[in-house]
Structure 1
Amino acid sequence: MPGLDPYQNIRAGERGAWASIAAYLLLSGIKLAAGYVLSSSALTADGYNNLSDIAASAAVLIGLRISRKPPDKDHPYGHFRAETIAALIASFIMAMVGLQVLIDAGRSITAGDRAAPDPASAWIALGAALVMLGVYAYNRRLAARIRSQALMAAAKDNLSDALVSVGAAAGIFGSQFGMPWLDPVAAVAVGLLILKTAWGIFYSSTHTLTDGFDEKELETLRGTIERTKGVRRIKDIKARIHGSNVLIDVIIQVDPELSLIESHQISDEIERRMERRHNIANVHVHVEPYEEPSASRTEGT
């Protein structure tokens, strides 16, 4: 929301992290107990997946809490990147659990004959999928509103968990038709999907921490600045993500006949347009005089 205090954004993001933790605590307990009682490898794997998500969501919550700390002598830009680091830690936790799920599923496949799981476990998995879809919708809307990378990563994890539960249910239902091996195979799919989600979060986090920025979005920001009245040319523009904030450094060229006050007014207008259109309040504008290319520069000597 334009003009919203970034620290209020972070506090709002914490509600999403708590919603995920509460859902995962409930569902992991139900799935692990039901998976053991009903002899379902897929449901048990899904339960372990939710256990990893508790740790991942807790890491996001801790990161959000740290990022609320105000700027200090060692962190003049604040602690906003703590939530990105938390998302990176969460990706490691998810990857380790994904590998463990694959190992356990592989052992189950090679163990030989096994009874088909109770079909009730499939209905439990489908119910869990509906719960996680609701949590995903809530966190996705909240993350988009407050521009939180960490919470958006958590929302993607919520969606993958819903899909994992659907896949587990499909494997369990399939095992009822004389193919009990479908249940552990579904557990393998669960493990692979956990690893895929972990890789996506890892890539996004490291891209942000190394000051990577989407080229298409940068061109959109450039277009907004170029269309600002008084800007003759953009000499250079850079952008980076700092937690849930975008920081922009831009060098513009203006009519050299303009006064200092007029040049400053152009800078102010750029800042207003960036906040109003893109919800970006952190814009550093450097102004230089514009020089027309001379013929002597374009012709050879």
Structure 2
Amino acid sequence: MSAARGADEAGERGYPRSRFGHTDLPEEQASALRRAVRLEIATLAFMVTAVVVVFLTMGSSQAMQTAWAEDLLALVPPLAFLIAVRRARKRPTSDHPYGFHRATGVGHLTAAVALLAVGVSLVVDSGLGLLRAEHPPIGTTELLGHAVWSGWLMIAAMVYTGIGPFVLGRLKLPLAEQLHDKVLYADADMQKADWMTALGTIVGVIGIGLGLWWADAAAALLIAGSIVHDGWRNLRAASSGLMDRRARTFDDEHPHPLTLAVDEVLARQDWVVDSRSRVRDQGHVFHVEAFVRPRPGRHVDIDDLETAVDRLRELDWKINDVVLMPVRELPETIPDPSRDQD
């Protein structure tokens, strides 16, 4: 009997079909993913124009040069998201039996490493500029037959590069929560705060115009510090996720409520005395390994197990693969999550 035919006959008999490694999202999330993809493509297009605009106006200002580097870095998270989404759609293979959902985690880690590495480099460069007391000159530019202070062009460029990411970031945040996508959230959170980079750069440029030579380097140092902060925070979150930290919310602020709900659902089964579960974040979806202790003398059959698995999958679309194992004693290595929700 073929696997497909066997699954169809199992469905006709009323047994649940296996969903191990499925890559299809519910319609609501699939629609959100399509919107997120369009927004990331729009982000790439906008940031390319921003990189060009800042490059053409940055002159010798260290703050502008640092802002330009940040705009270049802003291309990494959207690219990581688009590549990860495409990769995560692949079906499981013999070499990757858990599927490719963790491509989002790899994308998150890649973006974080890029941010942190370049941020540290910029902090060093900006700090040295401040120590050397460099005085960056801002001259004039010929524009439509008139001599214009180049600082005004720099300020206009910063206004342009600050408004776009702020709007795009706010549009992405609800989609990141809806999709439980940490790459999208990291991108949205950084872009939403980009107005601070633009404002800091504008202050630095105005400072040069007022004769405050240190304002430019100080603004560059502030921007570089912000990049390092974003990179370090995302590196911690991405590496912890890849090391099988228990599933957390999309913003990594708290353990995900589903880590408790799994054991609560299992406890409501009439044949279960107690349970302990491990919930791993695979990317958009979770993988659940649950160990249950049956009631003494209660015979547990396949129907009981499959019904319990169905109840877990009804909790949330994110619960993907479920492994349910009856045991005589619960594993001591799995702490009770209800006692530790920090």
Please give the TM-score of this superposition, normalised by the length of structure 1. 0.80
1:182-193 equivalent positions in 2, closer than 5 A: 182-193=215-226
Q: How large is the Cα RMSD of the aligned pairs?
A: 3.2
- Equivalent residue, structure 2, for 1:250: 290
Q: Identify which of 21, 37, 62 aligns with 1:14.
A: 37
CA apart distance, 1:111: 4.7
8 Å contact kept, 1:20–1:135? yes
CA apart distance, 1:182: 0.9
2-side partners of 1:269 and 1:73: how far apart?
26
CA apart distance, 1:221: 2.6
CA apart distance, 1:100: 3.1
Q: Identify which of 112, 135, 141 aligns with 2:134.
A: 112
Q: Identify which of 48, 54, 69 aligns with 1:31.
A: 54
Cα distance change on mapping 1:228 and 1:126 into 2, 3 Å = farther
**Structure 2: gaps of 5 or more residues:** 1-23, 139-149, 249-253, 330-342
2-side partners of 1:113 and 1:148: how far apart?
44
AA aligned opposite 2:108? A
CA apart distance, 1:49: 1.0
- Equivalent residue, structure 1, for 2:65: 44
**Structure 1: gaps of 5 or more residues:** 291-301
AA aligned opposite 1:284? V
Worse-matched range after superposition: 145-154 or 108-117: 108-117
CA apart distance, 1:177: 3.9
Q: Cα deviations across residues 167-201 of structure 1 (Å, max 9, x unaligned)?
A: 22233344444423112211011111111111111
The answer to whether structure 1 residue 194 and structure 2 residue 227 are counterparts is: yes
Cα distance change on mapping 1:200 and 1:231 into 2, 3 Å = farther
8 Å contact kept, 2:176–2:185? yes
Aligned length: 287
8 Å contact kept, 2:62–2:136? no
The answer to whether structure 1 residue 241 and structure 2 residue 274 are counterparts is: no
The answer to whether structure 1 residue 225 and structure 2 residue 247 are counterparts is: no
8 Å contact kept, 1:99–1:191? yes
The answer to whether structure 1 residue 139 and structure 2 residue 172 are counterparts is: yes
Worse-matched range after superposition: 183-192 or 140-149: 140-149
The answer to whether structure 1 residue 70 and structure 2 residue 91 are counterparts is: yes
CA apart distance, 1:99: 2.8
8 Å contact kept, 2:47–2:75? yes
- Equivalent residue, structure 1, for 2:332: none
AA aligned opposite 1:48? A
The answer to whether structure 1 residue 164 and structure 2 residue 197 are counterparts is: yes
AA aligned opposite 1:99? V
Q: Normalized per residue, which structure has more helix? A: 1
1-side partners of 2:163 and 2:271: how far apart?
51
1:207-226 equivalent positions in 2, closer than 5 A: 207-213=240-246, 214=248, 216-217=255-256, 219-222=259-262, 224-225=264-265
8 Å contact kept, 2:280–2:288? yes
The answer to whether structure 1 residue 280 and structure 2 residue 303 are counterparts is: no
The answer to whether structure 1 residue 81 and structure 2 residue 81 are counterparts is: no
CA apart distance, 1:138: 2.1
1-side partners of 2:325 and 2:53: how far apart?
58
1-side partners of 2:43 and 2:235: how far apart?
19
Cα distance change on mapping 1:2 and 1:227 into 2, 3 Å = farther
Percent of aligned pairs sharing the same letter: 19
AA aligned opposite 2:182? Q
The answer to whether structure 1 residue 271 and structure 2 residue 292 are counterparts is: no
1-side partners of 2:38 and 2:271: how far apart?
42
2-side partners of 1:289 and 1:270: how far apart?
22
Provide the secondary structure at the position in 1 that maps to 2:213: coil
Q: Identify which of 64, 68, 76 aligns with 1:55.
A: 76
Please give the TM-score of this superposition, normalised by the length of structure 2. 0.72
8 Å contact kept, 1:139–1:152? yes
Cα distance change on mapping 1:160 and 1:97 into 2, 3 Å = farther
- Equivalent residue, structure 2, for 1:297: none
AA aligned opposite 2:289? D
CA apart distance, 1:242: 0.9
8 Å contact kept, 2:33–2:175? no
- Equivalent residue, structure 2, for 1:296: none
